[in-house]
A and B are shown apart, each in its own frame.
Chain A
């Protein structure tokens, strides 16, 4: 590549981390930040088996999020298996000198909320974590992706990782976002358009006027769900919004170092004329509030649509897919989405539990009552404190919802907070897979405002009429 070849944001961040480039196409990449959580115990076991130590404990940060209780007191964890998971993380991090944002720490929360919040996530960094939603951190212009336990062990031992360079995909969101449409609607529209494997093997860059206008919270939601289209990562070029977000955060560079960083970060944006392997464009003006009806995030439709009818599907494989999804979801073909009654709601997860998400849900719930039970689990303990300062917790409680603690909670259900079998849940989470929220649970994904609208109407509903006259 000549000096003058225009480069993408992704190319630039990748190049800055190449320790070794082999002829077979594999590169050894330097890792700037490595996040671990309770689920990383398999990797620590591998270290123990090899009698190895952690190469860079100062670049490794641990958060207790996957298994921690999110309802009631957390001083004592009743379930011995879950208590053991949290304790094992404490032991492993203490043994290896890794900073832990544990249950008793004011900074505790979901790893993908905490990283950006604490200034650990910065533009231009390479970030990994044993969790597929690590793509979230790309919202700040980092190359961030999820890895498995063996790779976690490799990073712990060497602070590097072998990778083959993914292809580059640019998703441009043109036009203007209509009122009441959130980042979640954009990303569900994108996944519905390109499919759950539409970006497999690609690093996505999100561009266009709509992305530029998105808040940091919205960008984090968008990049978070890149993995649901199969992408290795999702990235957004760092700009004033990102710089302002990072400035002054606890682990962010300070003073002259921050000025030096700003200069480096400003040069990261994709060069004019840089080539992408694939281009996708969507018009934001055509994006309506979206909900999922099936068992993959790609099964997403505008709220005014009807559930698909396999009988009207010409392709036999597609018809089978629709039948199986509808069967699991207990939905009749052709049902209007707004006729689907729900049993409970969940507001939480690394996708949609930041302060802006809670405000959006609260705007719909203000002065209203939820027709179904539900749990609100803030994205981090800091988000929880902020929401309480703003009085959002009182709005949720007055609506009859439970105001919980921060953690992965009912998004993945491994802390015991699950949707009971056969129940239908409107959820701000990222995966409507079979049994994701608990065995037999039926999940409909949507934005926080749409979940709030589902709560107050007891069925899937358009949030926009409910927002009229309310402050967003």
Chain B
């Protein structure tokens, strides 16, 4: 996984609250393997019309923003479906960071697993950045994860990120690397838990045929 330390790039504003993962990657593209590259279908149904033509008013289709590496979003960015391919699509397009007032919970977890920075800032800061990008679309924006700051023009302000996620992004660590050092603890937990909660294992008495037929005897 690529490290994220700092980035200076063009930022594309999406002023859409609750921009869900069905928008980021419509479900019919979920069949595509990651190796196919999902950048071309990022935000497909907002970027393209029913005939597959680019919608000229959509931010990513404007020449100033088509090469953006940063997205500035509205609240609850990435809510909805757990599809990690929404993060793949952003990354494959070239986006490395999303700045927004809040993020969908599962999306935030998927982002850090893939090296995409989710930087949480206030509604007011997002509004002011979006306004400025409207006036000066190519304005370079610098995100510094070490300093935890966002800088553009003469402005600088901090952003919020979970400290563990920050460390992982700075070092390019995925969670498996961390877990590997705890395998003995996992084995010990499993043994102790089996004695403590023997009922928690799936019953081995389950029979295959017609076992789902009794549905409602509980009333």
Q: Which residues of A contact B (CB under 8 A)?
A: 16, 19-20, 24-26, 28, 30, 32-33, 39, 41-42, 45, 50, 58-59, 61, 67, 81-82, 84-85, 105-107, 109, 114, 117-120, 122, 124-125, 130-132, 145-151, 153-154, 157-160, 162, 164, 196-197, 200-201, 216, 227, 230-232, 244-245, 247-254, 257-258, 260-261, 264, 296, 298, 317, 320-321, 324, 355, 380-383, 385-386, 412-414, 421, 431, 433-436, 439-440
| B79–A252 CB distance below 8 A | no
Q: Are A150 and B174 in contact (CB under 8 A)?
A: yes
17 contacts between A and B (CB under 8 A): A24-B164, A59-B202, A151-B110, A153-B176, A160-B182, A196-B79, A197-B76, A200-B76, A231-B105, A232-B105, A260-B199, A382-B212, A382-B215, A431-B20, A439-B28, A439-B45, A440-B50
Query: Which residues of B have CB within 8 Å of A118?
Result: 206, 211-212
Q: Which of B104, B176, B200, B216 contacts A230 (CB 8 A)?
A: B104
A257 to B206, CA, bound (A): 15
Q: Check if B197 sits within 8 Å of A433, measured CB to CB.
A: no
Asked if residues B45 and A132 are in contact (CB atoms below 8 Å), the reply is: no
For the A-B complex with A148-B113, A439-B26, A439-B28 known, give 10 more contacts whose Cβ atoms are closer than 8 Å.
A39-B83, A45-B33, A58-B201, A149-B110, A158-B183, A159-B190, A230-B104, A247-B218, A248-B217, A296-B20
* Residue contact B23 to A132, C-beta cutoff 8 Å: no
Q: Report how far A317 CA is from B200 CA in the complex, Å.
A: 49
> Could you tell me if A386 and B211 are in contact, using CB atoms closer than 8 angstroms?
no
B182 engages A253 (CB within 8 Å): no
**B22 beta carbon closer than 8 Å to chain A:** yes
CA distance A227 to B82 in the complex (A): 10
Q: Using Cβ atoms and an 8 Å threshold, which residues of chain B touch A26?
A: 164
Most chain B CB within 10 A, of A45, A50, A84, A200, is at A200
Number of interface residues of B (CB under 8 A): 74
Contact residues in B for A132 (Cβ distance below 8 Å): 80-82, 106
**Known contacts A248-B217, A355-B216; A433/B186 CB under 8 A:** no
Known contacts A16-B197, A154-B175, A431 near B45 by CB under 8 Å: no
Q: Are B22 and A434 in contact (CB under 8 A)?
A: yes
Contact B212 A433 (CB under 8 A): no
Tell whether, in the assembled complex, residue B211 and residue A230 are in contact, meaning their CB atoms are under 8 Å apart: no
- Interface pair B27/A414, CB less than 8 Å apart: yes
Q: Which of B164-210 contact A (CB under 8 A)?
A: 164, 167, 174-176, 178-179, 182-183, 185-186, 189-190, 193, 196-203, 205-210
Report yes or no: B207 in contact with A250, Cβ–Cβ below 8 A.
Answer: yes
Given A118-B212, A197-B75, does the pair A159, B186 have CB atoms closer than 8 Å?
yes
Asked if B30 and A260 make an inter-chain contact with CB atoms under 8 angstroms apart, the answer reads no
Q: Which 4 A-B pairs have the closest CB atoms?
A: A382-B212, A261-B199, A148-B110, A150-B113
Q: A385-B213, A414-B30, A436-B22 are in contact. Are A196 and B76 (CB under 8 A)?
A: yes
What residues of A have a CB within 8 angstroms of the CB of B22 in the complex? Answer: 431, 433-436
Q: Is the CB of A42 within 8 A of B85?
A: yes
The verdict on B150 contacting chain A, using a C-beta distance below 8 Å, is no
A147 surroundings in chain B (CB, below 8 A)? 82, 106, 109
Interfacial residues, chain B to chain A (CB-CB below 8 A): 15-18, 20, 22-23, 26-28, 30-31, 33-34, 45-46, 50, 75-76, 79-85, 87, 102, 104-106, 109-110, 113-114, 162-164, 167, 174-176, 178-179, 182-183, 185-186, 189-190, 193, 196-203, 205-219
Are B23's CB and A433's CB within 8 A?
Answer: yes
Question: How far apart are the CA atoms of A136 and B201 in the complex, in Å?
Answer: 20
Q: How far, in angstroms, from A120 to B83 measured CA to CA in the complex?
A: 24
A149 and B105 within 8 A (CB):
no
Nearest chain B residue, comparing its CB with the CB of A131:
B82
Given A131-B82, A196-B79, answer yes or no on A386-B215 (Cβ-Cβ < 8 Å).
yes
B202: A residues at CB distance < 8 A: 33, 58-59, 61, 120, 251
A435: chain B residues within 8 A (beta carbon): 22-23, 26, 45
| A252-B203 contact, Cβ under 8 Å, with A154-B179, A160-B186, A197-B79 | yes
Residue of A nearest to B178 (CB): A162
**Shortest beta-carbon distance, B104 to chain A, in Å?**
7
Contacts of B114 in A (CB 8 A): 150
For A232, what are the chain B residues with a Cβ–Cβ distance below 8 Å? 105
Closest chain-A Cβ to B213's Cβ sits at a distance in Å of: 6
Is B106 touching A257 in the complex (CB atoms < 8 A)?
Answer: no
A197 to B105, CA, bound (A): 10
A45 with B34, Cβ < 8 A, contacts A26-B164, A30-B189, A439-B45 known:
yes
Instruction: State the CA gap A260–B164 with chains docked (Å).
Output: 38
Min Cβ gap B86→A in Å is: 9
Report how far A245 CA is from B217 CA in the complex, Å.
8
With CB as the reference atom, state the residue of chain B lying closest to A380.
B212
Bound-state Cα–Cα, A32 to B201, Å: 7
A16 to B197, CA, bound (A): 9
B212 close to A258 (CB less than 8 A): no
Contacts of A260 in B (CB 8 A): 198-199
B residues in contact with A117, CB < 8 Å: 212, 215
Which of A25, A61, A413 lies in contact with B27, CB distance below 8 A? A413
Instruction: List the A side residues contacting B167 at CB < 8 Å.
Output: 24
The residue in chain A whose Cβ has the minimal distance to the Cβ of B200 is A32
Would B87 and A148 count as touching, CB distance under 8 A?
A: yes
